[in-house]
Amino acid sequence: MHEMSIAHEVCRITEEHVGADQLTHVVEVGLEVGDQAGVEVANLEFCLEILLSSPPFGHGRPAITRLAGDDLRLSYVEIDDGSPDD
């Protein structure tokens, strides 16, 4: 099940991008997954749901968009910065 390896890498990239002190503020991690990427989307989503809702993360969730092609890309990380404008 290489989806768990992908999910771990997504979490690693997220931590690298936002910093370890902001992981509990991660709200959503957006991914784009091509239909030819060789990824079982339901399994990847399940793995990410578990990892993003567990320490060191707080209450994050995955948002996966299916696309044509073979791309697999982390497209955004949404952080709750406490701003009332969100």
CATH of the domain at 54: 3.30.2320.50
Residue 55 domain-assigned (yes or no)? yes
Instruction: State how far the Cα of 80 lies from the Cα of 86, in Å rounded to an integer.
Output: 8
Higher pLDDT, 22 or 82: 22
- The type of residue at 6 is I
For 49, list phi and psi in degrees, rounded to 5. Answer: -60, -45
What is the pTM for the complete model shown?
A: 0.90
Question: Into how many domains does the chain fold?
Answer: 1
Confidence of residue 1 (pLDDT cuts 50, 70, 90): low
* Domain hosting residue 11, numbered range: 2-79
Residue 42 belongs to some domain of the structure = yes
For residue 86, being part of any structural domain is answered with: no
How would you classify the pairing of strands 61-67 and 72-79?
A: unpaired
* Digit-coded pLDDT (tens) for 34-79: 999 999 999 999 999 999 999 999 899 999 999 999 999 999 999 9
Look at residue 85 and tell me if it is in a domain: no
Q: Is residue 58 part of a domain?
A: yes
